[in-house]
Amino acid sequence: MSDPTTRSLDQRLDVIARHPFRARFHLRGRDLATAELSGPGTLRRHAYDLIARRLAPAEPYKDGKQTPYRGHPVFVAQHATATCCRTCLQHWHEIPKGRDLSRAERAYVVTVICRWIEREVASAAATAVDRGPA
């Protein structure tokens, strides 16, 4: 699996975001604050850990139900980017089920998640600037 460019990654995220279910997900409230305060490096480490435990095994425990809908920015991002379970990963990202994720596939999933979070944080900041001072 080659390293996705930011442009190709953004194009894939835009396609996924057109799906009505995926389009509902945005960082808000505590999840947005966590993303803003934690910073990209910390979120990337969290994403690697969560993916390794919940998504990377060939047959993840409770696959299809293992990713909460909120409680951490990575969880929200997984649903928004269709990296929440092995079925979605296969359908949207052509990463087959039934085998452990390779190191490159894990890195790709984390990159997808982190890029989505980066875009959400930037969008929230731009919205706050548009609104002006409170």
Structure tokens of 19?
Answer: 């799906």
Whole-number Å distance between alpha carbons of 101 and 98: 9
pLDDT by residue (tens digit) across 108-133? 999 999 999 999 999 998 887 666 66
Q: How confident is the model at residue 1 (pLDDT cuts 50, 70, 90)?
A: low
pTM of this prediction exceeds 0.75: yes
Q: How far apart are CA 1 and CA 93, in angstroms?
A: 11
pLDDT in tens, 3-12: 578 889 999 9
Q: At what angle do helices 29-54 and 73-80 cross, to 10 degrees?
A: 70
